[in-house]
Amino acid sequence: MRLPLVLPVKISPTLLVTLSVAHGVALLATLATDWPVAMKALVAIPWGFSAWRSIRWQISRFQGGRPTALGLKSDGKLDLYCRQGEAQPATVSASTTVFPGLIILWLKTDTERLSLCLPQDALGPEGHRQLRLWLTWLAKAE
């Protein structure tokens, strides 16, 4: 793998479907209880709000200042590229978790700490493999 390497990050249909199904199951489970209607409504409203908020955030993060690409560098640092094109330096936190089909990437920048949930379809198979390889190399280097 040649570094520096820029990996574009796309909206993940898998993540959107997973979020929708999980919230839908929680909502159906709430409605299936034998609670009074008022209690069901009190519990169902936050589930609906949570679904709307999380799905909206996943889609809108690619329209604002959220990362649209990751720049992997040989010194173990990472650049976050936003829609405007500017690169923001970041470091990978030790809390980052890597699974074969999912990467939970915790990053620290100068101004914030953020997490990216990256299923395989967010980076493409080759980009996902390269990020896993880079993270493994980074962990061994430290």
Q: What is the pLDDT of residues 103-128, one digit of tens each?
A: 999 999 888 888 889 999 999 889 99
Mean of the pLDDT values across residues 60-67?
Answer: 64
Sequence-separated contacts (24+) of 88-94 with Cβ below 8 Å:
92/135, 92/138
Q: What's the pLDDT score for residue 97?
A: 93
Average pLDDT value over all residues in the chain? 87
Structure token pair of residue 21: 């199904």
Please check the confidence at residue 78 and state whether its pLDDT lies above 70.
yes
pLDDT confidence bin for 132, thresholds 50/70/90: very high
Cα dihedral sign, 131-137-139-142: negative
Residues in the chain: 142
Lowest-pLDDT range of 20-34, 43-57, 58-72: 58-72
